[in-house]
Structure 1
């Protein structure tokens, strides 16, 4: 069926290693797991689920997770197609090659571990057959690829999760697709934390948060401070610039006198890296990721307790002095007014 092949082709070509039971059905389905990054609590795992009815039209799609997802889990209302030529859709202009949204889901809901999408009766025919000019006709929805996002809940840390996708057509035909199990990381992650020289420059890996000196004092946080961010152009004639120092490091590495809060004595082993650009922390390609195994095998036995002259895209592996956490701190942005923006992955040891 010509209309069916347009929507199903890309999913079939890129499908993940899963198991479909639609061989004897007039309803076909296929699946891609779009997300390649480690599954971390609070982050999304995204899938594209393709369905095609050889008789009748699409009725409903369902995704059932082995562990209920966090808020935000569910199906999108829109499917997407690639514009062949310049298009104007709902007042928005798309150029050739752009992804264009079209509503294929009438309504969507999530209840516990189950998300449901009720499909539209008709859509613009161009979505299923690009040979038909957009906006000229509507057609019964016999094929669609819908997007499903699963937001990893905190209770899934260190466990495995799996999914079963299923669909029904107007004739009562059914199809389903079961995924393999995917491991969920034990890591926590926090992005775009702002540090300021002699301001919010005291960082706790346990809290994944930067504090001011006043906050450290009034909240009795000295024992939780793992490193201090300091900016100075030079120290004793040498480049210093954007640097991390442990509160308990040798004072000769601390460029600002009196900056260490009373009671802050942690010696945090850290190892500067200039070539570890984790895509989740950086927020863009390349698709290189720090995962649990990187922390499990991390050896900082020869590390020092300071790291000097950071540039944008540098980072540092660290372990807390009490041995509770390992972390990777990535530098997203710096400026020479004494500001730095960091992101962090933290792993419980």
Structure 2
């Protein structure tokens, strides 16, 4: 059965739609580090292999069988430890105050940052509960708030966004000292600093099964993943050398530009996805497609499918 898959990239309310066949793979029997393997795949094919479905795994196993291979090889899954940024508008870091040795990205989950009274940032597990610091912009004046009771980082972010502007962004030492003066505990407070977790090198979304598998990867500083013949993921030091799988799918692209207009700034990303999906279904209803149609949302670097833009497009 032919399968049609759509990868959707959204920016400023416009969507580009690519139509492609199912993934196919090639096993490269050369020992390389993860980074060198990715470079090889990008130059000669598309990227390191992405495995999202049972069908993908079947194709990968087929390639392994053809090469009489039943061991471990690199795939495109990696822990994005260099993606630290601020919650508010995904602002990049121009000022840093990490404690010496941090962020150490130990295990899986130290993807959120706290500010301690010593005046340093520490990376911590986002699921821990802590008091936190919000900021609000009122008539061009920034005000800071220390919030109790303790919440997880995600809960704290939502609380700040609902009632103020966001979790705090710290751009300089002066702002650091203002916040420290608000603190009354030494254990650390959530700030708006966070990073991404495991992701595919070709920017495909993690499926639910991918996410569950990635959650089990917790080796300290082992930030690149392999798969074995049965599709089990394992984390390794990225400097280790393995054979590797590349994506070789031949994409045939067609583009549909969809302008998304909203009368409110409060429409959620999920709601926009639902509305645009209805529009895409109308478009697809006019296409003659042999086989199943699979829709896959492609997120931007900030984790969202859509990016809001004020004013008319």
Shorter-chain TM-score range: under 0.3
Q: Which has the higher strand share?
A: 1
* Structure with greater Cα Rg: 1
Compute the TM-score of the two structures, normalised by the length of structure 2: 0.21
